Amino acid sequence: MTVFMNDLLLLNVCCFSAWRYCFYTLWVTNSQVTILDRVPTGIKGLDELLGGGFPEGRCILVVGSPGSGKTTFAIQYLHHGAMLGETGLYVSLDEHPEHVKENLTSYNWDLDSLEKKGKLLILDASGLRRANIKPDGPHPVFSPSSSEGLSFTELLRTVSKVVEGENVRRVALDPVTSLMLRYSEEVKRRRATIAFFDTLADSGCTSIVTSELKTSLMDRRFQLEEFLSHGVVLLHTLMHAGNVVRAVQIEKMRGISHDTQIRPYQFGPTGIEVFPRDKVF
Amino acid sequence: MTVFMNDLLLLNVCCFSAWRYCFYTLWVTNSQVTILDRVPTGIKGLDELLGGGFPEGRCILVVGSPGSGKTTFAIQYLHHGAMLGETGLYVSLDEHPEHVKENLTSYNWDLDSLEKKGKLLILDASGLRRANIKPDGPHPVFSPSSSEGLSFTELLRTVSKVVEGENVRRVALDPVTSLMLRYSEEVKRRRATIAFFDTLADSGCTSIVTSELKTSLMDRRFQLEEFLSHGVVLLHTLMHAGNVVRAVQIEKMRGISHDTQIRPYQFGPTGIEVFPRDKVF
Amino acid sequence: MTVFMNDLLLLNVCCFSAWRYCFYTLWVTNSQVTILDRVPTGIKGLDELLGGGFPEGRCILVVGSPGSGKTTFAIQYLHHGAMLGETGLYVSLDEHPEHVKENLTSYNWDLDSLEKKGKLLILDASGLRRANIKPDGPHPVFSPSSSEGLSFTELLRTVSKVVEGENVRRVALDPVTSLMLRYSEEVKRRRATIAFFDTLADSGCTSIVTSELKTSLMDRRFQLEEFLSHGVVLLHTLMHAGNVVRAVQIEKMRGISHDTQIRPYQFGPTGIEVFPRDKVF
Amino acid sequence: MTVFMNDLLLLNVCCFSAWRYCFYTLWVTNSQVTILDRVPTGIKGLDELLGGGFPEGRCILVVGSPGSGKTTFAIQYLHHGAMLGETGLYVSLDEHPEHVKENLTSYNWDLDSLEKKGKLLILDASGLRRANIKPDGPHPVFSPSSSEGLSFTELLRTVSKVVEGENVRRVALDPVTSLMLRYSEEVKRRRATIAFFDTLADSGCTSIVTSELKTSLMDRRFQLEEFLSHGVVLLHTLMHAGNVVRAVQIEKMRGISHDTQIRPYQFGPTGIEVFPRDKVF
Amino acid sequence: MTVFMNDLLLLNVCCFSAWRYCFYTLWVTNSQVTILDRVPTGIKGLDELLGGGFPEGRCILVVGSPGSGKTTFAIQYLHHGAMLGETGLYVSLDEHPEHVKENLTSYNWDLDSLEKKGKLLILDASGLRRANIKPDGPHPVFSPSSSEGLSFTELLRTVSKVVEGENVRRVALDPVTSLMLRYSEEVKRRRATIAFFDTLADSGCTSIVTSELKTSLMDRRFQLEEFLSHGVVLLHTLMHAGNVVRAVQIEKMRGISHDTQIRPYQFGPTGIEVFPRDKVF
Amino acid sequence: MTVFMNDLLLLNVCCFSAWRYCFYTLWVTNSQVTILDRVPTGIKGLDELLGGGFPEGRCILVVGSPGSGKTTFAIQYLHHGAMLGETGLYVSLDEHPEHVKENLTSYNWDLDSLEKKGKLLILDASGLRRANIKPDGPHPVFSPSSSEGLSFTELLRTVSKVVEGENVRRVALDPVTSLMLRYSEEVKRRRATIAFFDTLADSGCTSIVTSELKTSLMDRRFQLEEFLSHGVVLLHTLMHAGNVVRAVQIEKMRGISHDTQIRPYQFGPTGIEVFPRDKVF
């Protein structure tokens, strides 16, 4: 923290007032009494920005650009819960569950072992692949029977059943985009999204839902689901001084104080690592 | 104020003329005779920018980005009234009323006690959650019977009835977005919005209505409701010199003089705190 | 003016050529012979920019952002006429006439007295509020009988009748936006707008029509009505060097020479005050 | 010109290469042999940029922002022709011909006298105003009988008849926008626009057609008619260093060499005056 | 070239790495073995950028802003071929062939003589002008009989017949825009465009097709036809340091190495002249 | 690497923190244990950025601007495989296969010889050209019988059959754009794209699919297929300091660590060459 303060004094002396409010925010994080229980994410550095973790029982939106690690974030969150003994459910809406696991073999997580112990459940909810992939794969724990993919309602019912039957504590849906595209009228999409977030919250689990960040600009139009979720974590891919930099920003987290700045992250052997005291710009 | 003037002299000597008009505006705020009664918001610093509070009997729009604290603003406004003995009505259009209260437990407000005393009324107007949430929750003071959410007219009628029956002085609707999306034609949306603001004003209450700020840009297209409301408070989330800064701006307040600049704010133990003499840029 | 020239020499020596043409323009304003009679606006500083006032018998468009004072501009214009003995007609298309007057109580104008003397007529043309507001209010001088608001044609006929019957010299319609939204096809909207401006001009009055400025950007798409009106006054809300600044610009005024620069304004005890020799940037 | 060169050396020494090509262009203007006959515009300074005037028998598009002087340009062009003995035809598509003349009384042009001598013909082609304006006005030389405005074809036929019958040498249509809006499909609008420009060219006259510049940006999408006309003159309203500056640019002039830079202009007693050797930026 | 290297060293020493890759590209142009035969364009400086000319038998797209000289480019290309004994075919899709020739009289090309010798063929493919222009003009070598313009297929069949019958080596279609507008669905427009380019390539000729550059911005959305053609030459009109500058850029040229930078050009007595070693910025 | 570090120290000392994360990323590339097998691309420098090559069995998207070398990339990838003994299949969706080969004659690849040995298979999948090109060309190895181009399903079935029958290890589809345009609803396009990528992955081959980069801006809206593919390689054409620079960026590569920066590339005698340690800005 001393180094951080030095940086502050040396480099940012000219924009003192702006820093002041950031600092206030951070101070609030550390000092304020909060009542909501926290669920640690297991993402190095992020829990510090959140003051401990996600608020329990809420549904958090993770919005990221292509290649920003949305799926890594989701599985890392479930993996951490599983290591703490909490059963997690991963709902794959676009990708082969088998590919998801292959993509994460570079991290030191033993997903197969967790799956065997019943601590990690994987639901293939795309409804696309029943027929045309190798039928002997072990992965589809629960497989939908509809041919056109699960409807919003069916999906929620299935998730609720699994959550109740298997005592699930953490849910990750990855990504929500296809579901939302089914509603062409904004008013209906909005209602469905509210119902969706409410049902996940009513399940008692602490959930994350991933979504696609449409643009690489910092200044942008906000997306519908950012207003309706209980919390929003943004995974940016930014250009800065000719470099591509990955950065995380907690845009919103209802009910708790949290850091609001844009912080760099990278992929390391244990998954996503956030640098909670460094700045991107 | 002396420090403020020194800042002005030291840092902004090169853009003297622009400052001059800001200063005029501030001076007007302090000196001018106004006739409209004021309703203090209870938001630290904001009443100073408003020259005392909102004009009595008007309907003010609070437009904010995701995570900017629109709901905090709304409840803080009602809480302050309740502490002064004025009954407040909170109309929740998207969120669980129960979640709303949970989200605000980090502030030192005793909402349950105010609710029990009948000083804070909460209306769940989403029409979505009657069936699928725990039926034994104490929160739905007034619950709509329609299955698809309240229509604009029904909502206004319900609000009017509660206002009259319970001697409500302050109303907060949070957020108005879903209601407005029902009108696909701009001409109809416009008429409905005027009728909506008028009815709230006719109720005799001083009301706030929250709405979603669509973009993080300072330069932007104005939204329909900004032209039609009696006043507009913007809650920005701005990027400045690599920092994320929260800032409030009174864009418009018919009938009274007010500060027009962009001022930083933060979340503290008592809710939103505005720094009325500091600048963001 | 000496101070102004000094400013010019000291601060803008590097962009000499651009200033030169502004100067030419100003010079033209002061020296050129004009034949159209002028109607003084009563807005301090603006008449100087206009070389005396609006050209008589024309219809001027006042386009402003939210909170820029479009209604203040309109009533101030009528108030000034009334003080000179000219009867004025205010046509309110969105707002309660009663609210309009309340909003202007902070200015030292005795609108009620002018109304009683018949020098200020107020027409509530929204067609929305006949039933649901207090019926004993004194304000609706002329009230439409249609339930859905006046049509373009009906409105023009009513205005013409009042103008003729009451010997009206100044008309203000505030705002024209709802009327224009009724035409979804651009070609029809264009024709209706031309007819509308022509009829107002044919009435013999000098009229102003307010409209909404859609964006806070200086660089922007021009709006249809700017091309079709006889004159355009823009009321900007600009960001400059971190400050919000209000500024007026005479974009167009057919038939007369006028200042073309962007000039600051503020709200003072007598209404809008323009600083005709100062610059915003 | 010496001063101009000095400016060049002193101020722009760092962007030498760009200037070089501008200079080449200017040189070409002065030295090249051209075969097309020229029609002097009468606009001070513009003919110098054009190397003498518009190419004879062509149809030139004048595109301008609101208040840029499109109508002044059109009448000034006809007035100059009339002073040289060439009959001119002004076709008014939006504006009262009577208003057009009123708007130009500040210039030292005796339009009424030219009209009486038959050197200036005015055609009211809006088709809107036959009934509702004072019927005893002297202005509608030729009045259409259709109630909904002239069709493209009818208009062209009427213009052709007048051109032939009255030995017209110069035509100005002001503005073409309403005509083009009748075609909702781009492919049809394109065909109609080509036919329109061809017919005007086939008439043997040298014509100008005004159109609306949609945006105040230098970088912009080009408009359909700019590609299809024989020449394009742009009348910009630009922001430069905080000043509003009027500037003309010859974007295109098929068949002749011409200056390509952006040059300031102003309104003087004789109409538009272009400063052909000055620069805006 | 020495001067060029000096410029490089003196002016751009601070952005060395970017220059380095430009240099590599240039080096490749000079040293690499290419197998495709080249067709010299006759445009001074451009052949140097192309390493000799267009690749033989391909169809090149020339995309330009209004007034950038698309037609000049097309005819200059055919003229150069004709001077080398190769028959050229010009297909005019919007403009009077007679006007095209008039517009080019300022260049020292004897088009009439080439036309008489049968070295330059002109096809009026607009299908618009058969009836309403002077029927005794000598220009329509081949005139379509359809009344609504040639269809894509008819046009290609006509072109193929002329190419075969007259032993044409170079074809120029100017411009392709109207043809492409006939397809409202993007998928059909894409297919038609591919078929169009293929047919021209199958004819054995080396062809150019002109198209309209929609915007004056360097950063822009690419147009469909840029992806589908065998090569793209862009004719920009750029603003740089307050000057309007014309610049050419070879965006793409399949099968050959070529310069990729933006190079200035101007119109001289012999047509377009490119400065292949100068830079615009 | 020493030179690289020196560059870092000398030039970028002021933006240390941003570099730090790039460096971390690179370090991870070199040290981390990865389980997915790699398929070397044969593109000089790119394999270094990828830590060896593409992950085996995945489908990689190559998105490029016009002229960026998408087809060169595709064939170079197949050529390299063929040199290693792996059979490659090129599926041409827009371009003549014969033209594709002609365009690549400037590289020192003996495609004909590889084709004869059966190491390079070429599938003309446009369905457009069967009739109207020379029927005696040797190139269409497999030719579709449908007249309107292959449907998504047919194409995939054909590709699968060839892959199985000919023991293909590498597939390149170039480009996917026409296929995606067939779906006007976004929800259907999304489903089809997922199915498409899955089927290619299920074939066991390591595939690349090219797509069109819609804009030259670094800040842009992401395209649907970037979210759905297993990996994304971007081929940019950038403006930097007045120069056009080609640059490659690995936006995403599921399952492996990779460099994330923007690196320059050029076309050399052996195809695309990436400079993996240089920077563009």
Confidence band for C13, pLDDT divided at 50, 70 and 90: very low
**Structure letter (DSSP) for residue A223:** P
Are the C-beta atoms of D104 and D75 separated by less than 8 Å? yes
Angstrom distance (rounded) from CA A256 to CA B152: 33
Query: Model-level pTM?
Result: 0.84
Are the C-beta atoms of F179 and F158 separated by less than 8 Å? no
Residues of F in contact with A135 (CB under 8 A): none
Q: Summarize the confidence of residues B265-275 as an average pLDDT.
A: 96
Place of tokens 């909702």: D184
Q: Does D280 touch chain E (CB under 8 A)?
A: yes
Q: Summarize the confidence of residues A26-55 as an average pLDDT.
A: 77
Which amino acid would we find at residue C22?
C
Q: Quick one: which of C116, A88, A271, A248 has its CA closest to B244?
A: A248
To test the contact with chain C by mutation, choose from B153, B160, B219, B239 the residue with the greatest count of C C-beta atoms within 10 A, namely B219
Q: Quick one: which of B58, D258, D24 has its CA closest to D249?
A: D258
C-beta atoms of B215 and A220 within 8 A: yes
Q: What is the pLDDT of residues E160-217, one digit of tens each?
A: 999 999 999 999 999 998 888 888 788 888 888 888 898 899 899 999 999 999 887 7
C-beta atoms of F262 and A242 within 8 A: yes
Q: Summarize the confidence of residues D175-193 as an average pLDDT.
A: 85
C-beta atoms of B133 and A202 within 8 A: yes
Residues of C in contact with B260 (CB under 8 A): 67, 237, 244, 246
pLDDT, residue F169, reads 97
Confidence band for A150, pLDDT divided at 50, 70 and 90: low
Tokens describing residue F53? 């090559």
pLDDT, residue C182, reads 81
Q: Which of D194, D254, D260 sits opposite E103 (nearest CB)?
A: D254
pLDDT, residue E96, reads 82
pLDDT, residue C126, reads 75
Q: List the single range of A181-195, E36-50, F29-43, F261-275 with lowest mean pLDDT.
A: F29-43
Q: Which of C21, C190, C256 sits opposite D178 (nearest CB)?
A: C190
C-beta atoms of F96 and E201 within 8 A: yes
Q: Quick one: which of D1, D3, D15, D2 has its CA closest to D281?
A: D15
Q: What is the pLDDT of residues B89-147, one digit of tens each?
A: 999 998 888 889 989 988 999 999 999 999 999 999 876 444 333 333 333 333 333 33
Element (H, E) at A251: strand A243-253
Are the C-beta atoms of F200 and F59 separated by less than 8 Å? yes
C-beta atoms of F178 and E186 within 8 A: no
Q: What φ, ψ does residue B266 adopt, rounded to 5°? A: -145, 170
C-beta atoms of C18 and D246 within 8 A: no
Pairwise pLDDT comparison (E179 vs B10), residue with the higher score: E179
Q: How many Cβ pairs within 8 Å bridge chains D and E?
A: 126
pLDDT, residue E192, reads 86
Residues of B in contact with A260 (CB under 8 A): 67, 237, 244, 246
Residues of B in contact with C110 (CB under 8 A): none
Q: Does B85 touch chain A (CB under 8 A)?
A: no
Angstrom distance (rounded) from CA B193 to CA B179: 9
Residues of F in contact with A215 (CB under 8 A): 219-222
Q: With touching defined as 3+ CB pairs under 8 A, do chains D and C touch?
A: yes
Residues of F in contact with E186 (CB under 8 A): 181
Q: Quick one: which of A228, A199, A191 has its CA closest to B126?
A: A191
Q: Which residue in A has a C-alpha nearest to residue B64's C-alpha? A: A227
Q: What is the pLDDT of residues F239-264, one digit of tens each?
A: 888 889 999 999 999 999 999 999 99
Q: Summarize the confidence of residues D157-166 as an average pLDDT.
A: 93
A206-212 and A168-174 as β-strands: parallel, antiparallel, unpaired? parallel
Those of residues 145-204 in D touching chain E at CB distance below 8 A are 186-187, 190-191, 194-195, 198-199, 201-202
Q: What is the pLDDT of residues C160-183, one digit of tens each?
A: 999 999 999 999 999 998 888 888
pLDDT, residue E142, reads 35
CA distance to partner chain D, nearest, from residue C69 (Å):
22
Instruction: Share the mean pLDDT of chain A.
Output: 80
Q: Please state whether D90 falls in left (phi above 0), alpha (psi between -120 and 50) or beta.
A: beta
Q: List the single range of D44-58, E33-47, F125-139 with lowest mean pLDDT.
A: F125-139
To test the contact with chain A by mutation, choose from F12, F227, F234, F251 the residue with the greatest count of A C-beta atoms within 10 A, namely F227
List Cα–Cα distances, E129 to C15, D56, D158, D225, F248, in angstroms: 51, 20, 19, 18, 50
Q: Which of B66, B175, B177 sits opposite A251 (nearest CB)?
A: B66
To test the contact with chain E by mutation, choose from F65, F73, F75, F102 the residue with the greatest count of E C-beta atoms within 10 A, namely F102
Residues of A in contact with F279 (CB under 8 A): 242-243
| The residue count for chain B | 281
Confidence band for F39, pLDDT divided at 50, 70 and 90: very high
Q: Summarize the confidence of residues C64-90 as an average pLDDT.
A: 97
C-beta atoms of F190 and A181 within 8 A: yes
Q: Does D6 touch chain C (CB under 8 A)?
A: no
Pairwise pLDDT comparison (E56 vs A135), residue with the higher score: E56
To test the contact with chain E by mutation, choose from D254, D256, D259, D262 the residue with the greatest count of E C-beta atoms within 10 A, namely D254
CA distance to partner chain C, nearest, from residue D211 (Å):
10
pLDDT > 80? residue E5: no
How many other C-beta atoms lie within 10 A of the C-beta of residue D245?
25
Residues of F in contact with A181 (CB under 8 A): 186-187, 190
Are the C-beta atoms of A75 and A111 separated by less than 8 Å? yes
C-beta atoms of E132 and D232 within 8 A: no
Q: Quick one: three-class SS letters along chain D?
A: CHHHHHHHHHHCHHHHHHHHHHHHHHHHHHHCCCCCCEECCCCECHHHHHCCCEECCCEEEEEECCCCCHHHHHHHHHHHHHHCCCEEEEEECCCCHHHHHHHCCCCCCCHHHHHHCCCEEEEECCCCCCCCCCCCCCCCCECCCCCCCCCHHHHHHHHHHHHHHHCEEEEEEECCHHHHHCCCCHHHHHHHHHHHHHHHHHCCCEEEEEEECCECCCCCECCHHHHHCCEEEEEEEEEECCEEEEEEEEEEECCCCCCCCEEEEEEECCEEEECCCCCCC
Confidence band for E35, pLDDT divided at 50, 70 and 90: low
Q: What is the pLDDT of residues E234-279, one digit of tens each?
A: 999 988 888 899 999 999 999 999 999 999 999 999 999 999 999 9
Confidence band for C35, pLDDT divided at 50, 70 and 90: low
Q: What φ, ψ does residue C25 adopt, rounded to 5°? A: -60, -45
List Cα–Cα distances, D58 to D80, D230, D231, in angstroms: 17, 6, 8
Strand partners, C120: C88
Instruction: Share the mean pLDDT of chain C.
Output: 80
Are the C-beta atoms of A205 and A193 separated by less than 8 Å? no
**Structure letter (DSSP) for residue E215:** B
Torsion (CA) B198, B53, B51, C62 in degrees, nearest 10: -20
pLDDT, residue F127, reads 64
Which amino acid would we find at residue A184?
S
Question: Could you tell me how many helices (H) and strands (E) chain A has, helices first?
Answer: 10, 11
Q: Quick one: three-class SS letters along E171-193?
A: EEEECCHHHHHCCCCHHHHHHHH
A120-129 in b/e form (b: 16+ CB < 10 A) is bbbbbbbbbb
Q: What φ, ψ does residue C12 adopt, rounded to 5°? A: -115, 25
Residues of C in contact with B19 (CB under 8 A): 243
| Chains sharing 3 or more CB pairs under 8 A with chain F | A, E
Torsion (CA) D199, D204, D210, D211 in degrees, nearest 10: 30
Those of residues 248-267 in D touching chain C at CB distance below 8 A are 264, 266-267
Reduce the DSSP state of residue C142 to 3 states and report it: strand
pLDDT, residue A11, reads 24
Those of residues 126-145 in C touching chain B at CB distance below 8 A are 126, 128-129, 132-134
Q: Which of D20, D222, D230 sits opposite E214 (nearest CB)?
A: D222
Q: Does C49 touch chain D (CB under 8 A)?
A: no
Share of chain A above pLDDT 70, in %: 79
Place of tokens 């072109």: E159
Q: Does F37 touch chain A (CB under 8 A)?
A: no
Q: Which of A34, A194, A261 sits opposite B128 (nearest CB)?
A: A194
Tokens describing residue D169? 């040498």
C-beta atoms of C104 and B15 within 8 A: no
| Chains sharing 3 or more CB pairs under 8 A with chain A | B, F
How many other C-beta atoms lie within 10 A of the C-beta of residue E7?
14
Q: With the C-alpha atoms ordered A130, A132, A134, A139, is the resulting torsion angle positive or negative?
A: negative
Place of tokens 């670094």: F218
Are the C-beta atoms of F107 and F269 separated by less than 8 Å? yes
Share of chain E above pLDDT 90, in %: 54
C-beta atoms of D222 and E94 within 8 A: no
Element (H, E) at A123: strand A120-124
Residues of B in contact with C235 (CB under 8 A): none
Residues of F in contact with E253 (CB under 8 A): 67
Q: List the single range of A245-259, E91-105, E141-155 with lowest mean pLDDT.
A: E141-155
Angstrom distance (rounded) from CA D176 to CA D225: 10
Q: Which residue in C has a C-alpha nearest to residue B11's C-alpha? A: C241
Q: What φ, ψ does residue E173 adopt, rounded to 5°? A: -105, 130
Which amino acid would we find at residue D206?
T
pLDDT, residue D35, reads 64
